[in-house]
A and B are shown apart, each in its own frame.
Chain A
Amino acid sequence: MTIYRMKYNSILAIAVAIILSSCTAGPDDTGVEFAPNMYHSVPYEPLSQITNEDAGRWVNSLDPVFSFDSIRRVDRSQPAEFYNSNPNNAFGMTMREPVPGTVKRGQYLPVRIAPDDFEAAARLLVNPTDSTEAVIKNGKLLYERFCLLCHGAEGNGDGPVSTKYFGIANLNGVAYQALNEGHIYQVITYGKGLMGAHGSQLDVEERWEIARYVKALQKQQQ
C-alpha cells in the first residue's frame, strides 16, 4: 500500500532536489533568478548590454505561452524584457565617447598644442597645482599606480614589466634630467615614442601631480 506512495514521493523529492541544485551558478552559467523583471535594467547600463531582442520574452505575461487569445496580438516587433542596447549606435553599444569639441563641466579647456610638439609644451604649460607636501605625496601614490610598473620605484626604468617591454627610459638619465614639468605633462597625456598615451587613465590634475613628483624624484636620486 504505502510502499508505492513512498516510492513516488522519494522520486519526486529527488527530482525537485536535482532541479533546485541545477539552479546553482556554474563556470558558464549564471543560474536561476527568481525575480528577473526586477533584476534586468530598463535604462541603458554602462557595462552590460543584451543585443538579443528575444531575450526574456518568456517573462512577458502577454506572451502566447501564457495566454492563448493573445497569440495574434503579441507585438513581436517590440524587443523583449531583457533587451538592452542602443540601436542608434554602432554595434548597439550603450557607451559613447564624448562628442568631439565638447568639454565636461568643471574641466579645463583644452590646450591646443600638437601632441608631438614637446618644445611648445615645455614653454607654454604651467603646473596649476602647488608644490606642497600633500601634492607630492599624492603624486607619489599616483606614480606608484601608473608609472612604477615600467619606470620602477626609483625611476631607473627597471619596473616589473621592463623584463618584457624594452626601451623604458631611465628617468634619472642625462637626457631626461633637464625636462621640465610641462614636457612631462605632455608625455603623460599623449605619449612619446615607445611610451603610450596615459591621458585616458589620468585626470588633468593627476597628471600635473605626477609631473611634480617625477621632478622631486629626480632630485632625490641625484
Chain B
Amino acid sequence: MLKIDLSNLKTTGLLYSFVFAFFISSPALAQEDTTAVSQFDPEVVAAGEKLFKANCTQCHAIRTRLIGPPLENIQDRLERDYLIRWIRNSQQVIESGDDYAVSLYEEYNRTAMPAYPFTDEEVEGLLAYIEVESNKAPEAEVATTGEEGVADAGTSQLTSGYVTTILVVLVIILVLILIVLGLIVSVLTRYLKEKKDLDESELEVVRQRIDLGRFFRSDAVVGIVIFIFTAVVLKTLIDGAFTIGIQQGYQPTQPIAYSHALHAGEYQIDCNYCHTGVRKAKSANIPSANICMNCHSGIKNLAGKDGISPEIQKIYDAIDYNPETGEYGTNTKPIEWVRVHNLPDLSYFNHAQHVEVGGVECQTCHGPVEEMEVVYQYADLTMGWCINCHRDTDVNTKGNDYYNKLVELHARNSKEPMKVKDVGGLECSKCHY
C-alpha cells in the first residue's frame, strides 16, 4: 500500500503537479495553476451558463435553496453518470426506487423536476458551469438599492418638513408683531394721557374705549351673522339631503386585508385575472379562494419572511389548506367579502356591455383602484351619472359589425359621431324593467 507522509503532503503535491505540468505543458493546466479558476474551455462554460440560465435558474441557485436544492459542488456529491441520468429524466431515477433520489424528492415536497433532452456535450457544459460557479468566492452582499430608497424618502420628507417650519415661523412672527403693536399703542396712550396741553376732541380720542358689546349688537354685524348662519345651515341641509341614498365614499373594512395597491398596482396583476366575469357577464365577480391560491400556495408571507402572514392564513382557513403538507381538507367556509358597489334592485347594469363592447376602462367608473389599499366607491352611481356619460360618450363601433347599419343610418341625419344616447342609452326600459 502506498503511504504518504502527511507532513510532506503539501510539498509533495506541489512537486507532483509541477512535474506533471512540466511534462504536458498544456496551456489549460498552466492557466489553472496561476488563476485557480477553471480547467474548462471558456466556450463550453459559456454554453453551459446559457443553458443554466434558460432552464434551471427558475428553481435552482448555486448557494441558496429555492424550489430545488442548491447545486454548489454537485459534482463532488454525486457521480457523473447519476447526475446525467438525473438531469435527463429525474422522475425515472425516482421511480427506479433509488433511496437517495426518493428521500430528496420527499424532502422537496414531491416537486417534480422537468426532464431535459440534453446531449452529452450540453450536460458537460452545464456541469462545467456549475463547477466554475461553485469555485468562485461568494459575492459580498451589497444593499445599495435599499439605502437609496431610504435617502429618497428622506429628502421628500425633509422638503415637507421645511414648509411646515417656515409656516410656523411666519405665524410666530405675526403674533410677535401684534404683541409689539399692542404694547406701542398702550405706551402711546399712557404718554398722551399725561400730556396736559390737549384740546377736547383730541382727549376724546385718547379716552376712547372700544365698546365690544355695542359693536356686536349693531345692525350690520347682526345682519351679516344671520346671513352667514342661514347660508351655512342651508348648504349643509341641501348637501345632506342630496347624499340620501348615495353611497359615494363607502369603504367597508374587509374580512381579509387584501390590497389592490399591492396586487393590481405593484405586481401589475390584470383586473381580468381575478374579476373573471367582467368581459363575459353582467357581474364582474369576486374571485374565489382557488384563484388566490394560484399564488398564495407559494407566497406565504410578505417580503419572503419566515412563517405565515395572519392575513394569508385566513385564506388557508377558509379552504382548509394545510401549508405544511400542502393538502386540502373538507372543512371549508366562505370568505365573506363586504359588497362595496350596489345598485338598487330597480336598475340593471351590465359589465360586459361597457367593458368588452363599449371599451370603457375600469378606472372611469371605479377610480384609481390600483392605488387603493381598501376599495371605496369612487363614483356616486346615481341615474344622472349614468345618463350624463351616455350623452357624452361615443359608441365604440370599430370592428363591431353589429353597428354597421346603425352608423350608416345615423350618418344620414347627423354629422356628429354616434353617441350612446343615439342607440337608446336614455330609454327608461334599457335600465329599468
B69 to chain A, nearest CB (A): 13
Measured between C-beta atoms, what is the minimum distance from A82 to chain B in Å? 11
| A166:B267 contact, CB within 8 angstroms | no
B54, B58, B290, B339: the one contacting A167 at CB < 8 Å is B58
Q: Does A144 contact B (CB under 8 A)?
A: yes
- The answer to the question of B246 belonging to the interface, with a C-beta cut-off of 8 Å to chain A, is yes
B270 at the binding interface (Cβ < 8 Å): yes
* A-contact 0/1 string along B242-257, CB 8 Å cutoff: 0111111111110000
| Pairwise interchain contact A21-B334, C-beta atoms closer than 8 A | no
Nearest-neighbour CB distance to chain A for B240, whole angstroms, equals 3
Closest to B337 in A: A47
Point out the residue from B54, B250, B291, B345 that lies within 8 Å of A25, measured CB to CB: B250
Are A149 and B273 closer than 8 Å at their CB atoms? yes
For chain B, residues 369 to 418, give those with C-beta under 8 angstroms from any C-beta of chain A: 376-377
> In the complex the two chains form, is B249's CB within 8 Å of A160's CB?
no
Number of A-B contacts (CB under 8 A): 174
Q: A196, B293: Cβ atoms under 8 Å?
A: yes
Is the beta-carbon distance between B288 and A31 smaller than 8 angstroms? no
In the complex, A25 Cα to B297 Cα: how many Å?
37
Known contacts A48-B342, A193-B112: A166-B233 contact under CB 8 Å: no
Check B252–A28 contact: CB distance below 8 A: yes
Alpha-carbon distance between A32 and B242 when the two chains are bound, in angstroms: 11
Q: How many residues of B contact A (CB 8 A)?
A: 64
Please tell me the number of chain A residues within 8 Å of chain B, measured between CB atoms.
63
A131 within 8 A of B: no
Nearest CB in chain A to that of B272: its residue: A145
Binds B, one of A34-42, A59-67, A208-216: A34-42
B55 in contact (CB, < 8 A): yes
Partner pick for A26 among B250, B267, B283, B346, CB 8 A cutoff: B250
Contacts A32-B245, A149-B270 given; indicate if A174 touches B240 (C-beta within 8 A).
Answer: no
Task: Please name all residues of chain B whose beta carbon is closer than 8 Å to the beta carbon of A170 when the two chains form the complex.
Answer: 54-55, 58
Q: Which residue of B lies closest to A195 (CB)?
A: B294
Residue contact A20 to B237, C-beta cutoff 8 Å: yes
Binding site for A on B (CB under 8 A): 51, 54-55, 58-59, 66-67, 111-112, 114-118, 229-230, 233, 236-237, 239-241, 243-253, 266-270, 272-273, 276, 280, 283, 285-286, 288, 290-291, 293-295, 297-299, 304, 333-334, 339, 342, 344-346, 376-377
Q: A17-B240, A161-B267 are known contacts; what are 18 more A-B pairs with Cβ within 8 Å?
A: A23-B240, A23-B241, A23-B244, A25-B246, A27-B249, A41-B345, A145-B270, A164-B295, A164-B298, A164-B304, A165-B295, A167-B58, A172-B54, A173-B55, A174-B118, A175-B55, A175-B117, A196-B297
